[in-house]
Amino acid sequence: MPLSKVRQPMPEQCPNERRRNFSEVATGYPAETALIEANRCLQCKTAPCRTGCPVEVDIPAFIQLIRSEKYEQAAQKIKEKSSLPAVCGRVCPQEAQCESHCVLNKKGAAVAIGRLERFVADYERNQGTTKLPTIEAGNKKVAVVGAGPAGLTAAGDLALAGYKVVIFEALHKAGGVLVYGIPEFRLPKDIVAAEVEYVKKLGVEIITNVVIGKTLTVEDLFAQGFEAVFIGSGAGAPQFMNIPGENYNGVYSANEFLTRVNLMKGYDFPNQHTPVWLGKNVAIVGGGNVAMDAARTSMRLGAEHVWLVYRRSEEEMPARREEIEHAKEEGIELALLTNPLAVQGNDKGWVSGLECVKMQLGEADASGRRRPVEVAGSNFVLPADTVIIAIGNTPNPLIPQTTPGLVVTKKGTITVDDNGLTTREGVYAGGDIVTGAATVISAMGAGKRAAKAINEYLAEK
């Protein structure tokens, strides 16, 4: 196999086509490309890449298995640590995690670890030969709240450790943000479904349509014989800007918009019964992954103009580089150093424009980023007929409100120790409900640590 100095590019759908369809943007490495890329790895004994992975996947080992063309074993190797490789291979910010530690960065570009992960996960799934480990089932029961990445991971690990695990999910479908937030063109829903299926095959029972804090409380779960509870309820509450006009028709939170499109398949209305309304000129407020997803989704639903309104400059955007590039290629216009002041509406109560002001960067603030300040008198109106607010989500308060003894921070996140133990015996938490809006892999890492801690706690009990 030839050794290549350059990182193998990811094959992608051409921007002009993909901007109007929901098929996956990146189409995945063919085996030959994966082999070339895998051969770039130096198999470092110290494996610095591993230290950058929140769940410590044995990266050199799985890459070595690819080199021997043992793709299924490579997938198994990853699954020792991560139960959702096809998801992580697509949406993890590898450039800020494992790949940022790769020694090859010094010589040009890191090994494309994420793309290789995606390759083996897809290979295994397409072969349909996913092997199930043998599990010795015990009789102790553990309840998991929320079927997002944190909950699914904790549940999978606990099932492997021999517990009887039941996940309670508020929505009608398992997957959390993976099904209701991240769009199909970045993460196909049948992949999420396959990963959920795998967790079920490990013996985990998933009960949908149960809102913990309403249908059942944490108290009730203990009364039903669950000996420990893991809370992975996420950061689902959308923030608004509290500017005038925010309640006009045509103003969405990114969550509502993306849920209508992804979970409820609003793009297929009326065959699917949930409508989604979108105008021709769409302004998205925000600069993170959520904003990018909302912008690119709007384009795919047929918008003529999509502006991304962000109050700092492109460098400060929290979204993944790759997503920003993809968005620009698809025709999203960046309205940088721009801050919304008010939503304007017509006499029927619909959005007719977004009044903004230009900003400039001043002194660095506590986050080390230069603080945007208004340029006096630079007000202007974007002729938007739809406004989507994507400025962040806060923790869902339902469970903290209804669970006595659970301490929360000022931001509403649940307080836990290093192992995910809350201030209440037997109750653990992890993922966005603890960290605030973060990443898929950090939520999975938290699920894993909590599963380990729960296992130790119940073994002693």
Contact set with ligand FAD (CB under 6 A): 91-93, 145-151, 168-171, 176-177, 181-182, 211-213, 232-234, 236, 258, 289-290, 293, 396, 398-399, 431-433, 437-441, 443
**Binding segment (CB under 8 A) for another protein, from list 97-105, 239-247, 331-339, 404-412:** 239-247
Q: What are phi and psi of 306, to 5 degrees?
A: -130, 120
In the list 227, 256, 322, 355, the residue contacting another protein (rule: CB under 8 A) is 256
Q: Which of residues 144-173 bind another protein (CB under 8 A)?
A: 170-172
Nearer to ligand FAD, 153 or 344 (CB): 153
Interior angle at CA 270, CA 307 and CA 13, nearest 5: 45
Report the C-alpha gap between 83 and 287 in whole angstroms.
29
The partner in contact with residue 92, picked from another protein, ligand SF4, ligand FAD, none with C-beta cut-offs of 5 to 8 angstroms by kind, is ligand FAD
The interface partner of residue 380, options being ligand FAD, another protein, ligand SF4, none and the CB cut-off 5 to 8 Å by kind, is none
* Alpha-carbon span 160 to 84, nearest angstrom: 15
Closest C-alpha among 78, 142, 113, 85 to residue 450: 142
C-alpha–C-alpha distance, residues 133 and 131, integer Å? 7
Cβ–Cβ < 8 Å for 354, 343: yes
45 vs 348, which CB is nearer to another protein?
Answer: 348
- Residue 335 beta carbon to another protein: minimum distance, rounded to whole angstroms: 23
Looking from the CA of 166 toward its CB, the CA atoms found within 13 Å total 16
Complex with ligand SF4: residue 48 or 162, whichever CB lies closer: 48
Q: Which stretch binds ligand SF4 (CB under 6 A): 43-51, 119-127, 147-155, 351-359?
A: 43-51
Residue 65 sits in the site that holds ligand SF4 (CB under 6 A): no
Cα 49 to Cα 56, 67, 94, 112, distances in angstroms: 9, 18, 10, 11
SS3 200: helix
Which range binds ligand SF4 by CB under 6 A, 44-52, 67-75, 330-338, 360-368?
A: 44-52
How many contiguous H segments (helices) and E segments (strands) does the chain have? 18, 16
36 contact choice in another protein, ligand FAD, ligand SF4, none (CB below 5 to 8 Å, kind-dependent): none
Tokens standing for residue 117: 């992960």
In one letter, which amino acid is 455?
Answer: N
Does residue 113 belong to the site contacting ligand SF4 (CB under 6 A)?
Answer: yes
CA atoms of 64 and 45, how far apart (whole Å)? 12
Burial class (CB in 10 A: 0-12, 13-18, 19+), 126: exposed
Residue 102 binding result from another protein, ligand FAD, ligand SF4, none, given CB thresholds of 5 to 8 Å by partner type? ligand SF4
Per the DSSP assignment, residues forming a β-bridge with 389 are: 253, 285
Element spanning 370, H or E = strand 370-374
Could you tell me the smallest distance in angstroms from the CB atom of residue 436 to ligand FAD?
9
Q: Which does 34 bind (CB under 5 to 8 A by kind): ligand FAD, ligand SF4, another protein, none?
A: none
Binding characters for ligand SF4, 3-42, by CB under 6 A (x = yes): --------------------------------------xx
Q: Which residue lies nearer to ligand FAD by CB, 123 or 257? A: 257
In contact, 173 and 195? CB cutoff 8 Å: no
* Residues binding another protein (CB under 8 A): 170-172, 180, 208-211, 214-216, 236-238, 240, 242, 246-249, 252-253, 255-256, 259-260, 264-265, 269-275, 277, 348-350, 396-398
Question: Which residues contribute to the site for ligand SF4 (CB under 6 A)?
Answer: 41-44, 47-49, 59-60, 102-104, 111, 113
